[in-house]
């Protein structure tokens, strides 16, 4: 599929259907002035980064493509998502939490008892991500107090550690409802 998109992209922008050769045959003097290199093509490149917490960031760059080979080599670590004449969209999964979470994310408990991450301290901020329903009866008072105050999310390691530490307190689905 990617090769088809690459081929279509190449022929759309760089294939001249023998135009240069035809002009050279009709007008030999003009042929000396014709540059056989394809004209550069400008596209908007959209880079989507998908973080572990589900956050997606977008970076938009304008690029001039002189060589398709060089262009594709520059994005070898990215997955091609979409391509038109005007833009190319790439996506990359990032094995880390988003900058938003690192700067302002707090674990807390929602009003209905769900372990969640808030954009700021719990109780006064919106929920960014929800995980699982907690069994409030089993939850130790110290852990409940931590969640009410908010546990800052500073790194991927702390993100994973907090989720794992509250996993034993999640409500399990009743097997009879299968």
Confidence grade of residue 8 (pLDDT, cut at 50, 70, 90): very low
Residue 176: which pLDDT band, with cuts at 50, 70 and 90? very low
Q: For the segment 16-65, what is each residue's pLDDT rounded down to a tens digit?
A: 444 445 444 555 554 444 445 567 889 999 999 999 988 999 999 999 99
Pick the closest to residue 5 from 59, 81, 58, 63 (CA basis).
Answer: 81
- Joined together, the tokens standing for residue 147 give 């969640």
Q: Identify which of 110, 138, 137, 134 has the alpha carbon closest to the alpha carbon of residue 124.
A: 110
150-175 per-position pLDDT tens digit: 999 999 999 999 999 999 999 875 32
Give tens-digit pLDDT for 51-62: 998 899 999 999
Q: Each residue of 75-127: pLDDT tens digit?
A: 999 999 999 999 999 999 999 999 989 999 999 999 889 999 999 999 888 99
Q: Is this model's pTM higher than 0.85 or not? A: no
Helices (H), the chain: 2-14, 19-26, 28-33, 68-74, 99-104, 141-149, 156-166
Domains of the chain listed by start with CATH number: 2-15+38-93 (3.10.20.420), 99-171 (3.30.70.1740)
């Amino acid at each position: 599929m990617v090769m088809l998109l690459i081929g279509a992209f190449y022929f759309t922008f760089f294939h001249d259907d023998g135009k240069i050769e035809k002009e050279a045959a009709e007008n030999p003097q003009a042929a000396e002035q014709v540059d056989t290199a394809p004209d550069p093509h400008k596209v908007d490149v959209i880079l989507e980064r998908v973080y572990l917490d589900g956050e997606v960031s977008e970076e938009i760059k304008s690029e001039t493509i002189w060589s398709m080979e060089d262009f594709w080599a520059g994005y070898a670590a990215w997955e091609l998502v979409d391509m038109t004449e005007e833009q190319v969209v790439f996506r990359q999964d990032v094995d880390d939490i988003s900058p938003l979470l690192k700067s302002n994310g707090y674990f807390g408990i929602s009003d209905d008892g769900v372990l969640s991450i808030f954009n700021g301290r719990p109780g006064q901020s919106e929920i960014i991500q929800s995980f699982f329903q907690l069994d409030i009866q089993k939850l130790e008072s110290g852990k409940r107090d931590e969640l009410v105050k908010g546990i800052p999310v500073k790194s991927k390691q702390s993100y994973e550690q907090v989720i794992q530490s509250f996993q034993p307190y999640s409500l399990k689905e009743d097997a009879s409802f299968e």
